[in-house]
Chains A and B, each alone.
Chain A
Amino acid sequence: MKKRLSIVFSAMFLLTMLTSCNTTLGIETVSSTDEAVTVAHSETTVEYSTEEYTTEEYSEYTLFVSASEILSTSHVVGAEKVGPSELEYAESTEPSTRKPGRTFPTLIPRNSFKTGREFFDDAVFVGDSISLGLRNYVNSQRNSGKDCLGKAQFLVAGSMGYGNALGAIGSSYSIHPKYQGKEVLIEDGVKLIGAKKVFIMLGLNDFCVYSVETGMKNAEKLINRIIEKNPDIRIFIQSVTPVIKAKEHGKFNNKSIDAFNDALKNLCRSNGWTYVDVASSLKGTDNCFLDGYCSDKDSQGVHMSYSGCKVWIDLLTNKYC
């Protein structure tokens, strides 16, 4: 442990040699005794590059920990490249604000964590009809012998939203996914699958029905239910995807979707969840869903073609593998 901490601090010193940006990071050190674990907090100023920083031995990554694990370089459960804007999430590192799935910035040896497609092996994708299309694309790739999102599974249902997924199974207003043919609450489905990461894309069936404030309350309630049933879960909230220009009408428009996504981003920030911006990769300069990625241009104008799904998959794969 002491040797590893020494390595970490040595790497931090190396980082001061690069001078594009700097920020103050909270770095936690952990010591343990037979009786108790104490967490100390220290701050230091670190300079880092806005471009990907690599050395022969170290890369700048964010360390993920589960609620039940002590922050330690020996408990790496995943890693993600950290861009400058995401380091903002690191400001609050008080132990009392630690929440399940929270990310903490640190420096870890490159070879001490998994990267590659296996990142998604213990992931489940939760979503509405947009994700129904993703499931079909992923399975079509897998059935033709290609690796696609590892062994990730799906809990998806058309018209599902943060709001209607809160209802009891069988209630008139609720929508739930199926697991092996049986309707399940999302949190129960995640548990049955044994997933350790959940990628959620909901909201398309919420942003026109509820105010942004109510939408976020519903989202937070649903996600907390998932965490309560699955304490070791890591939460990734994917943005709502856009609509093509020709199908914008009334409140159903990209400006409203953007407002919902901004609120989701803030929700993630305040809870330590990871926000994944899928929408930006699918839009043109007019801030609308690109026609080429849309499979139902004559209908709702929101569902993805296989080429749209490929963009989505490439985004996730480049970000996490």
Chain B
Amino acid sequence: MRKTASIILIIAMLFAFASCGNSGEPIAPVEVNCTEALENIYLKISEEIPMEYEKFNLTANDMIDYYGIKANKIEEIVAVQDACGYKDEIVMIKAKNSEDAEEIADLLGQHISYQMDSMKDYDAEQYKILTSSIVDIKGEYVAMFISSSQNRMLEIYDSYFTD
């Protein structure tokens, strides 16, 4: 009797585990709602936090040289660097899809690491900023802020997203 009950319980557990498994269907992408065009978000950021130096606005075609990001993965972009080329950077991208967004986020993360290696013995202040820089990804939207005011930039950016 006990043996039979044990077997029945084991079989029941097996069915229970099976029902938790991946059904094979694709996972639905995270849906985010951005309430403004990236350009308008940038205008808001730059009004409150103007760049210290002259600015250079990158286009989608520039991104391959600067970050290794292919233009055909970008649907919408605002990317700005200071004239020095190694201080403040703002990159906000809406990718074509979630997969592209993840790839872009990975490349931007690599960029931060690369900049840290360049700056660690060169510009202590910039290195410190880079150690706190992050790449934010929300669905198809990816953002990177490198600035002494990067936390406030991210707050402003976040305020335009609703669940």
- Which positions in A face B, CB cutoff 8 Å? 129, 132-133, 135-137, 139-140, 143, 153-154, 156-160, 175, 178, 180-183, 205, 295-296, 299-300, 303-306, 309
> Given the interface contacts A129-B84, A296-B84, A300-B123, does A154 sit within 8 Å of B53 by beta carbon?
no
Task: Please indicate the chain B residues that have their CB under 8 angstroms from the CB of A160 in the complex.
Answer: 118
Task: Please indicate the chain A residues that have their CB under 8 angstroms from the CB of B107 in the complex.
Answer: 181
Find A135's partner among B59, B85, B122, B123 (CB 8 Å cutoff). B85
Task: Please indicate the chain B residues that have their CB under 8 angstroms from the CB of A304 in the complex.
Answer: 83
The answer to whether A295 and B68 touch across the interface, beta carbons within 8 angstroms, is: no
Question: How far apart sit A158 and B114, CA to CA, in the bound complex (Å)?
Answer: 10
The answer to whether B67 and A136 touch across the interface, beta carbons within 8 angstroms, is: no
B80, chain A: closest CB distance, angstroms: 10
The answer to whether A305 and B122 touch across the interface, beta carbons within 8 angstroms, is: no
Q: B115 on the interface (CB 8 Å rule)?
A: yes
Nearest opposing residue in chain A for B63, CB measure:
A181
Beyond the given A129-B122, A158-B85, A305-B54, please list 4 additional residue pairs across the A-B interface where CB-CB is below 8 A.
Answer: A133-B85, A158-B115, A181-B67, A295-B83
B:77-133 near A, CB below 8 Å: 81, 83-86, 107, 110, 114-115, 117-119, 121-123
Instruction: Return 23 A-B CB contacts under 8 Å, by A number.
Output: A129-B84, A129-B85, A132-B84, A133-B83, A133-B84, A133-B85, A135-B85, A136-B85, A137-B83, A140-B56, A140-B57, A143-B62, A153-B65, A156-B85, A158-B85, A159-B122, A160-B118, A175-B118, A205-B122, A304-B83, A305-B53, A305-B83, A306-B83
The answer to whether A132 and B64 touch across the interface, beta carbons within 8 angstroms, is: no
Question: How far apart sit A172 and B30, CA to CA, in the bound complex (Å)?
Answer: 39
Question: How far apart sit A153 and B66, CA to CA, in the bound complex (Å)?
Answer: 12
Find B114's partner among A136, A139, A178 (CB 8 Å cutoff). A178
The answer to whether A132 and B68 touch across the interface, beta carbons within 8 angstroms, is: no
The answer to whether B83 and A136 touch across the interface, beta carbons within 8 angstroms, is: yes
The answer to whether A158 and B119 touch across the interface, beta carbons within 8 angstroms, is: yes
Task: Please indicate the chain B residues that have their CB under 8 angstroms from the CB of A181 in the complex.
Answer: 64, 67-69, 107, 110
B43, chain A: closest CB distance, angstroms: 19
Task: Please indicate the chain A residues that have their CB under 8 angstroms from the CB of B58 in the complex.
Answer: 139
Question: How far apart sit A222 and B118, CA to CA, in the bound complex (Å)?
Answer: 19
The answer to whether B68 and A180 touch across the interface, beta carbons within 8 angstroms, is: yes
A96, chain B: closest CB distance, angstroms: 41
Considering only CB atoms and an 8 Å cut-off, how many residues of chain B contact the other chain? 27
Nearest opposing residue in chain A for B107, CB measure:
A181
Question: How far apart sit A178 and B117, CA to CA, in the bound complex (Å)?
Answer: 13
The answer to whether B114 and A159 touch across the interface, beta carbons within 8 angstroms, is: no
A241, chain B: closest CB distance, angstroms: 13
Task: Please indicate the chain B residues that have their CB under 8 angstroms from the CB of A158 in the complex.
Answer: 85-86, 115, 118-119, 122-123
Task: Please indicate the chain B residues that have their CB under 8 angstroms from the CB of A159 in the complex.
Answer: 118-119, 121-123
Find B117's partner among A133, A143, A175 (CB 8 Å cutoff). A175
Question: How far apart sit A136 and B68, CA to CA, in the bound complex (Å)?
Answer: 16
Question: How far apart sit A306 and B55, CA to CA, in the bound complex (Å)?
Answer: 10
Question: How far apart sit A90 and B132, CA to CA, in the bound complex (Å)?
Answer: 55
Find B84's partner among A139, A182, A295 (CB 8 Å cutoff). A295
B38, chain A: closest CB distance, angstroms: 17
Question: How far apart sit A178 and B110, CA to CA, in the bound complex (Å)?
Answer: 11
A201, chain B: closest CB distance, angstroms: 13
The answer to whether A139 and B62 touch across the interface, beta carbons within 8 angstroms, is: yes
Find B54's partner among A182, A205, A299, A306 (CB 8 Å cutoff). A306
> Given the interface contacts A143-B59, A305-B83, does A178 sit within 8 Å of B118 by beta carbon?
no
Find A132's partner among B57, B69, B85, B110 (CB 8 Å cutoff). B85
Question: How far apart sit A159 and B84, CA to CA, in the bound complex (Å)?
Answer: 13
The answer to whether B56 and A136 touch across the interface, beta carbons within 8 angstroms, is: yes
Task: Please indicate the chain B residues that have their CB under 8 angstroms from the CB of A132 in the complex.
Answer: 84-86
Task: Please indicate the chain B residues that have their CB under 8 angstroms from the CB of A139 in the complex.
Answer: 56, 58, 62
The answer to whether A180 and B65 touch across the interface, beta carbons within 8 angstroms, is: yes
Task: Please indicate the chain A residues that have their CB under 8 angstroms from the CB of B117 in the complex.
Answer: 175
Question: How far apart sit A184 and B125, CA to CA, in the bound complex (Å)?
Answer: 27
Question: How far apart sit A134 and B59, CA to CA, in the bound complex (Å)?
Answer: 17
Task: Please indicate the chain A residues that have their CB under 8 angstroms from the CB of B62 in the complex.
Answer: 139, 143
Task: Please indicate the chain A residues that have their CB under 8 angstroms from the CB of B122 in the complex.
Answer: 129, 158-159, 205
Task: Please indicate the chain A residues that have their CB under 8 angstroms from the CB of B81 in the complex.
Answer: 136
Question: How far apart sit A158 and B53, CA to CA, in the bound complex (Å)?
Answer: 17
Task: Please indicate the chain A residues that have their CB under 8 angstroms from the CB of B57 in the complex.
Answer: 140, 143
